Structure 1
């Protein structure tokens, strides 16, 4: 409505200005044409005057009112239509301006448009012995000038054209906004319990099509996020309910059968379950912070040095062979990157038979950390599942029953928070986890092989480039 009113008002003002200009030009042209004709007829007849001979004027080109009037206002001669009429005008042009135009409007009758010409001094002296005479040639005012018909027609056309502009805008805007209204109505029907509705996409590549497509993509992402939250809530409740149920059972047994239950063992089991619950809650908080995009302080980190430090700090029956290049700098949070490396090393040692290998190198623009083990590996169909929350394969449950199933999920989220990736790639033996992080700008340059710094002696491992 606002657009239609504004456009209609602007169209009315513009067309009114155009119409007024056209009317003025037309009326001015018609008036100028009439005056030219009267001047021409009067001048032609005046040129036919001779001493002793004053021929009666003859009407031409619609100018049929012609009179010759003396200085006292008496009509000397006139055309047939002007005979018997008083002088057409009292206008007396001076010698320095012998030809003038005038519109005479008597009390009764229509207005006359005429030209008044003063007879030249030579003719006046020779014919009338110096008495001034005047020639009047005129015609009634044309209807287009005498009435306001042109203005009325123009005004009606301006109003009609402005109305057509407003109606066209109303129709086009209505059809356009109906698509937006359809999108709004569909969006209004969507509720948190049902996110499956989608907006109908108009054909073509218009802005409305892009809006509907964007709305559908947003709804798809929202639906996926809600489904993930529901799966997460369901899985989390299951993972928390199981240890809580076991803890409640042990405590109830201790209360009901105090003679048959060792209180120290019950307390020890309760502490173990509490520690597991605390670990799960801590991991969930870390995941929540990572998923919410909470900013963490970043600093310049030599990922090669970090890998060497973490690999050398690990003990245990399974040795970790570290081979890392120097000066592989990334921007990141040290605590979070240490957690990724520790999670990958702990996962590899859990599944390895004899040894674990971790390398750190750089390509043209990426820092690459690889953790490999010589275990059974991960099946291709499970390589994405293991990064989901609370997902633990049968082998992992068997080797570490107390695990939370959140380590790899946290590791991938940390990698994504650092604009990197964490994936499982093909390996001739065991599993091969590859972490890629963007190098700093000063470190993004092709380089030759870095100097590896092994944390344990492993002559059989080749140096990474």
Structure 2
């Protein structure tokens, strides 16, 4: 089974146990090495002490063979080699054997040491050999030795380290798994709650643990995401319901007129029938176009941005519309913004249609710099569309930017919009790094678009 298929608990316990086990093994090896080094140094000192004691007797001329008197706690393999290289005295275990080593100190009074393997020692193996020189009618050499120590030195210590490593590794792995299990209990509760959430009921929320840790923040983020999802789904349901209602009205009108014409085809005036149906078809076309625009905006399709003369664009849009109200123009020339020309034209068109629909007699269109140096990247321009109608109450100024939202006064008019013009206009402004808001005015509704100047 692949490692990724294990649970987080198992993976963390395995990783922690492996890491701790490896660290314990390294520590044990280092500790055994340090113990071995210390024990070897102490053993070398003992071997040197035995050689020094033998050198004392050689220096006094009290040499006997086999070599006494060496205390029992210091008895080591010892040999005395005369200046001719002959072994003249040795301990009992090295009687009648050649010299145990062939190296000598470089100068009298000094000591040389080394490790000699498979030499004259009855026990075999490797030995630490210390050579010391004594001058008595020539240079005499005393060799003393002791078997080298194994790496683990003391078997009990090695066994204790092995058992301790195993126990400590298992304990740490178990502790890590237990800790992770307890830490992930809130995650299990969150998962269980998410499993019960369905698209038909998004009101449930995941439990938030009391400990303010990463899981606490995760639970809060999940709940905030669920809030946004519930809001979006509710908006989608309302959007579909409103779109269906708006589409059903012209479709029903077209169906009724066609059915009436089919009941009495001889009495039907084709031109009049087409004239009656055309407004409903145009309404369907307008709704479909607006829905398509919103779909593209929601999908965040990229726009082709280029320098646009906003004053020229507003003038073109005013000239192309048959305005039923008086229009007052206050346009500052050469106001350049960077944006999608078609989208900006639709923004202007939607604001003009809205103003014309609710104005009593006059629509005022103002274009000016909105503050700051026009050459600065932070400079803004303001496009203001003001009508002299009844205006919009302060508590409804954000409501009109919701999709398919129309005020009651609009619903009473035959020429009322479908409630998508202003939401589309605001999205266009925001896609261009600007804003669309409703500001206070003495009379009527004052829509203000702020867009960054093209730098």
Say yes or no: TM over 0.5. Answer: yes
2:69 is equivalent to residue 57 of structure 1: yes
Q: Which residue of 1 aligns with 2:375?
A: none
> Alignment RMSD, CA only?
3.9
1:408 to 422, 441, 445: 422
Structure 1's 352 and 58: CA in aligned 2 closer, same or farther, altered over 3 A?
A: same
Q: Which residue of 1 aligns with 2:352?
A: 345
Structure 1's 438 and 188: CA in aligned 2 closer, same or farther, altered over 3 A?
A: farther
Preserved contact between residue 93 and residue 122 of structure 2 (Cα < 8 Å): no
Alpha-carbon distance in 1 for matches of 2:142, 2:304: 105
2:295 is equivalent to residue 295 of structure 1: no
2:156 is equivalent to residue 149 of structure 1: yes
2:390 is equivalent to residue 376 of structure 1: yes
Q: Which residue of 2 aligns with 1:36?
A: 45
Q: Which residue of 2 aligns with 1:16?
A: 25
Alpha-carbon distance in 2 for matches of 1:360, 1:51: 122
Alpha-carbon distance in 1 for matches of 2:30, 2:220: 49
Preserved contact between residue 58 and residue 134 of structure 2 (Cα < 8 Å): no
Preserved contact between residue 59 and residue 135 of structure 2 (Cα < 8 Å): no
Structure 1's 319 and 40: CA in aligned 2 closer, same or farther, altered over 3 A?
A: same
Q: Which residue of 2 aligns with 1:426?
A: 440
Alpha-carbon distance in 2 for matches of 1:397, 1:269: 21
Across the two proteins, how many residue pairs are aligned to each other?
424
2:260 is equivalent to residue 253 of structure 1: yes
Alpha-carbon distance in 1 for matches of 2:421, 2:130: 111
Preserved contact between residue 116 and residue 137 of structure 1 (Cα < 8 Å): yes
Gaps of 5+ in 1: 79-84, 443-465
CA drift at 1:152: 2.5
Preserved contact between residue 311 and residue 322 of structure 1 (Cα < 8 Å): no
1:278 to 285, 289, 293: 285
Output aligned runs, 1:65-104, within 5 Å: 86-87=93-94, 90=97, 91-92=99-100, 96-97=104-105
- Answer with 162-171 or 219-228: which moved more: 162-171
Preserved contact between residue 36 and residue 149 of structure 2 (Cα < 8 Å): no
If the length of structure 2 is used for normalisation, what is the TM-score? 0.77
Preserved contact between residue 243 and residue 273 of structure 1 (Cα < 8 Å): yes
SS at match of 1:120: strand
CA drift at 1:330: 1.1
Preserved contact between residue 32 and residue 152 of structure 2 (Cα < 8 Å): no
SS at match of 1:194: coil
Alpha-carbon distance in 1 for matches of 2:449, 2:30: 76
Q: Which residue of 2 aligns with 1:394?
A: 408
CA drift at 1:352: 2.0
SS at match of 1:434: strand
Preserved contact between residue 115 and residue 137 of structure 1 (Cα < 8 Å): yes
2:313 to 306, 309, 316: 306
Q: Which residue of 2 aligns with 1:333?
A: 340
Structure 1's 35 and 428: CA in aligned 2 closer, same or farther, altered over 3 A?
A: same
CA drift at 1:36: 0.5
Structure 1's 47 and 323: CA in aligned 2 closer, same or farther, altered over 3 A?
A: same
Deviation string 1:289-336 (CA, Å, 9 cap, x unpaired) is 222222232221121222233334444452111111122211112222
Preserved contact between residue 198 and residue 219 of structure 1 (Cα < 8 Å): yes
Alpha-carbon distance in 1 for matches of 2:381, 2:178: 59
Preserved contact between residue 405 and residue 419 of structure 2 (Cα < 8 Å): yes
SS at match of 1:389: coil
Preserved contact between residue 195 and residue 223 of structure 1 (Cα < 8 Å): yes
Structure 1's 150 and 351: CA in aligned 2 closer, same or farther, altered over 3 A?
A: same
SS at match of 1:358: strand
Gaps of 5+ in 2: 1-9, 106-110, 373-378
